[in-house]
Structure 1
Amino acid sequence: MRPARRLTLTDDVYETVRAQVMDHVVAPGARINIDALARDLQVSPTPVREALARLEADGLVRKRPLVGYTATPLLTRDEFDELVEMRLILETAAARGAAARSATAEPAVLGLLREAADLPGPVPGAQGYASIAAFTAQDARFHNLLAEQSGNRMLHDAVVRLRPHLHLFRLHFPPTHYRTSGAEHHRIVDAVASGDPDRAEAAVREHLLAARQRHLPYFRQG
């Protein structure tokens, strides 16, 4: 039972520290003191180190020689544009592949994609990242599933490793996402199910460019 309890503890620490980074409790660029964090969370340093290693894989923290871990700085406007460009390259290709394979796909596969297209609203009474965590996870699940259905494992891995949702929603969460993203997802599923790669590509491109417009006010304000 000890390994199970340890895994649960590491998961709890990971979720807690991730929320602190997403909510800027740990400020962007700030150094993370492992011992101090362990004391605050009333755990040993070991699960904190394990959680930070996972967060490094997420791109939310960085490990630097002689410095240790720091919270990753927020995306700059140039980095934001580069992220959108990468998504347009990767995810439109994934949509084309998924549409091309839709005729031979199991009905359950499209059902899973359709299910993932639905996005939850804000959690009542929750504040900050806690209110959008479910939305963020479901949004990532949809895009990752779409990439998986392309049949290209390297493409899928590239989409997953990009983890745009964590970086974008740490930056800014436009309220209009709740009203529009799910509808855009369903249009993508309809296009994939039609078996038309051009239509699927266009639907993904429209969604990503619309999401880009929803985030742009953050940079105008900054």
Structure 2
Amino acid sequence: MTTIDGLPGLGSSTRVMLADEVYAVMQQAILDGTLPPNTRVNAGELARQFDVSPTPVREALARLESDGLVEKHALKGYRTSDLLNREQLREMFELRLLLEPGTAAHAAARRTQEQLDALVTEIDLGRQAVGTDDAYALLSQHDVRLHDLVFRAAGNATALTAYNRTHCHLHTYRLAYTGTYVPDTVEEHAQIVTAIAAGDAAAAESAMRSHIENSATRLLVTLDS
């Protein structure tokens, strides 16, 4: 039977809120390995465990399928998807190298003071999370917010949409999950923000490219081990 330990009380929320909560709990369970790759997920069993009707569980599973975290098989139901392999990882980082260095350069040229303040605040949050008991989760969330802020500062909604549709952050989190986090990432983010703050497009592009290449190297080490 498919179970997720430590389910929160879902209370008497509306159906939409229930679906959101079920989705959030299931997403985290897949990302941190509580539901391992290629695990059968039965909607009826999960509905009983969550003490909800099957509808919010089905809605959550549909969203997880869109994320690439579960796969629906004809006549067999859902299974959690496999981790990215080396070729898929290479393709994902090739896409990031096409999208993000140029985006960082545009952010250096176009960012508003409000957007810059948000980026600086995000670096402070990342540094504060280093060494805490839940550093990996906090810093993974920091990573998602930082890259989102850079895209928004660049003022290119199409590039942001393209990035979000790949769900890069979800697959990276899932592949790298070890309960620890490399603090070097925060300092790489800081270099990007420093360049954006200076309005130095070339430096911002270079810092983002180095960060993505370093991230790819770190993940390949994890994958190979």
Which TM-score tier does this pair reach, normalised by the shorter chain?
0.7 to 0.9
Secondary structure at the residue paired with 1:74?
coil
Structure 1 partner of 2:80: 71
Residue 219 of structure 1, CA deviation: 2.4
Q: State the identity as a percent.
A: 38
The offset of 1:176, in angstroms, is 7.3
TM-superposed deviation, 1:4: 4.9
1:32 matched to 2:36: no
1:116 to 2:122 alignment: yes
Given candidates 71, 85, 99, the residue that maps to 2:108 is 99
- TM-score normalised by the chain length of structure 2: 0.84
Q: Report the count of equivalent residues.
A: 212
- CA contact under 8 A between 1:122 and 1:135: conserved in structure 2? no
Give CA-to-partner distance per residue, 1:90-130, whole Å, 9 cap, x none.
1112111111214xx2x111011122234224663x6xxxx
CA contact (8 A) 2:105 2:201 kept: yes
Q: How does 1:171-210 map to 2 (within 5 A)?
A: 171-173=175-177, 177-210=181-214
CA distance in 1, matches of 2:130, 2:49: 31
Q: CA deviation at 1:191?
A: 0.8
Uncovered stretches (5+) of structure 1, i.e. residues with no partner: none
Give the Cα separation in 2 of the matches to 1:113 and 1:158: 21
Deviation of 1:38 after TM superposition, in Å, equals: 1.1
| Offset at residue 3 of structure 1 (A) | 9.2
Q: Distance in 2 between matches of 1:123 and 1:50?
A: 34
Q: CA deviation at 1:220?
A: 2.1
Letter in 2 for 1:148: R
Render the CA deviation track for 1:158-200: whole Å, top value 9, x for unaligned: 1222222211121123677442111111110111122222111
Compute the displacement of 1:11 (Å): 2.7
Contact conserved, 1:173 with 1:215, CA < 8 A, in 2? no
Indicate if the aligned counterparts of 1:28 and 1:74 stay in contact, CA closer than 8 A.
yes
2:136 corresponds to which letter in structure 1? I
Alignment correspondent of 1:215:
219
Instruction: Call closer, same or farther: CA 1:133–1:79 in 2, change over 3 Å.
Output: same
SS of match in other structure, 1:149: helix
Distance in 2, matches of 1:57 and 1:123, equals 32
Partner of 2:8: none
> After superposition, where does 1:126-205 map in structure 2 within 5 Å?
132-173=136-177, 177-205=181-209
**Partner Cα distance (1:174, 1:190) in 2:** 29
Structure 2 stretches lacking a partner, 5+ long: 1-10
Q: Specify which of 11, 18, 24 is matched with residue 9 of structure 1.
A: 18
User: How much does 1:8 deviate?
Assistant: 3.5
> In structure 2, how many angstroms separate the alpha carbons of the residues matched to 1:66 and 1:73?
19
Cα gap change, 1:3 to 1:145, in 2 (>3 Å)? farther
Task: Report the Cα offset of residue 39 of structure 1.
Answer: 1.4
- With the length of structure 1 as denominator, give the TM-score of the two structures: 0.85
Matched residues in 1 for 2:141 and 2:64: separation?
Answer: 15
